[in-house]
A and B are shown apart, each in its own frame.
Chain A
Amino acid sequence: MVPYEYYVALSGLLMVLGLIGVAIRRNIIALLISTELMLNAVNIAFVAFDMKLGDVGGQVFVFFILTIAAAEASVGLGLIMAIYRLRKDVDTETLTELKH
């Protein structure tokens, strides 16, 4: 059996990848995808800890994270649609009217 710590470390890696994704992508849809990646990473950690503890709280929490990920995705996609309609573009570079 692989130690659960490895799962947690994996979740950390995915988390960081998601963070990097948000930082470097220019397509705002990709940004949203990257946040999904981050939330998923958390799921791994939760399940790993849950299993290690012999509890079900972690799995329940994963359920909420799934819900929230879905909710954020839907709101985010709605915003992306709106932004696209207004600016005909989904580039982060154009998404910089609010600054300084």
Chain B
Amino acid sequence: MTVEFVNATFPIITVSILIPLIAAGVVFFTDEKHAKPISIITSIIVFILSTFMLFTYDYSTYAIQFYEKYSWIPFLGVSYEVGVDALSLTMVWLTAISFVAAFVWSTNIQKRIKEYFIAFLILEAACIGVFVSWDMVWFYIFWEAMLIPMFLIIGVWGYAERIYAATKFFIYTFFGSLFLLIGVVGMYIYQFVEKGILSTSYFDLVNLGLPFRLEIIFFLLLALGFAIKVPMWPFHTWLPAAHVQAPTAGSVILAAVLLKMGTYGFVRFSLPWFPEASKYFVPVMFALGVIAIIYTAMMAIAQTHIKRLIAYSSVSHMGFVTLGTFALNMEGMNGAIITMISHGFTSAALFLAAGFIYERVHSYEIKDLGGLARFMPVFATLFMISAMASAGLPGLSGFVGEFLALLGTFKASVITAVLAGLSLVVGAGYTLWLYHKAMFKESELPNEKIEKWEKLKDMNTAELLSFLPLVIMMFVIGIYPAWWIRLIETTSAAILSKFIGG
């Protein structure tokens, strides 16, 4: 894999990482009442920067763009090396937009405002960092650094069992990432021993040419780290716990951005680094993907808690990404990437919806809800769109990715694709079941509830504003995916270059 680099004329990526950090510092030292505007403005600036990158990115050939590299720890051969290809770029952009939504949503936060926004700003920097780093040490630093703010977000601003959830989230993902670290360090050592190169750069490690046995070992080590983050079945149990307890904005980021890191890892590292092992493990990955899709869909419908249901649905959707990734063909890869983006929007919107319901009704239990559609029509509409996008309705973003991923999977394994396609049924099942129970069926409500809920307010401006970009993006991707496909196509081809040639 040979890669071209286009150096950045202006260190836009570094600036994107630094701005939230600086803003965090500013928030720390200023008055509490400035925290919200500063954070929102920061996130918007980052969003503008990433959008600028998105539109100036040249997708005609594969090259790492906005590339910066500075020597950092020469002793270990570590450099600060950032840049984007289309995969990174879309992820960064997804991060930026999710954070805008999260920040705008968070205007109703009342508890420990300063800390809250500081945690989120640091989280934003770390999330962007994960996607743009091409040096494994930096990648790992961001990968882990993100745990701290997320841990606090869940633990401090969460609900009743937040401590259990936060600890589980932290330790479980930490567990995975340490195995990831073992793998990367192992490769680093191998590179040093075999080639005499002391480097943690992605581009050096990608051309390692490991023997098959080692490929298997390293693949498994990395896969464990990524699988927990994704999360793939059976490493998924931290996710429902974390989602249920996390505050709304935390859930949004968790679902929209953090889960993507695992799948990003598979796409970015597992495939190009371990082509033989990846091929070898395709059946396993397919099996896990299908189990994730079907099994967690069943888990989802068994839930009585809105957020847990959505959390399981995330696991289910991630199954498609796994399938698409390991289909090892262009359709699958494009599908995986599009699903990642799309899931970012849909799950974020669904969690916002859950948070909104809680804001109004003060319950996440499905049995306490019902008939909300009449009291809050605007919300009902947006929720419906999000639910439908999540269920993979054509014309919305979810379908594009699922279709491509299924197509790619079908080429690799018919039975897997057919089973995975069942998600069309079961996925719609739990999504609509949730909608059905929460929004419809007013006639089953007791009268006092109806009287009380008559006075419920529909969405306010902040809530609407945080919802809208997500919903708009569902349409944009759903109606005109061609633009996105073209954007990522060269990147997909480059990632798959060891499988499909060229």
A–B: direct contact at CB < 8 Å? no
